[in-house]
Amino acid sequence: MDTGMKNILTAPFIKEMCKTASNMYRLGWDERNGGNISLMLDEGEAAEYLDPEGKLRTIPLGFDASALAGKIFLVTGTGKYFKNVEADPETNLGIVRISPDGKEAQLLWGYKDGGKFTSEFPAHLMSHMARLSVDPKNRVVIHSHPTHTLAMNYVHELDEKKLTHTLWEMCTECIVVFPDGVGVLPWMLCGTNSIGEATAEKMKQFRLVIWAMHGIYGAGRTMDETFGLIETVEKAAQIYMLTSHLPRINTIRDGQLKELAEFFGVDYRKDFLEST
Residues identified as active-site? 120
117 in Cβ contact with 72 (< 8 Å)? no
What is the 3 state secondary structure string of the chain? CCCCCCCHHHCHHHHHHHHHHHHHHHCCCCCCCCCEEEEEECHHHHCCCCCCCCCCEEEECCCCCHHHCCCEEEEEECCCCHHHCCCCHHHHEEEEEECCCCCEEEEEEECCCCCCECCCHHHHHHHHHHHHHHCCCCCEEEEECCHHHHHHHCCCCCCHHHHHHHHHHHCCCHHHHCCCCCEEECCCCCCCHHHHHHHHHHHCCCCEEEECCCEEEEEECCHHHHHHHHHHHHHHHHHHHHHCCCCCCCCCCHHHHHHHHHHHCCCCCHHHCCCC
C-alpha atoms less than 13 angstroms from C-alpha of 44 in its C-beta half-sphere: 0
Picking from 201, 47, 202, 215, the residue whose alpha carbon sits closest to that of residue 120 is 215
Radius of gyration (Cα) for the chain, nearest Å?
A: 19
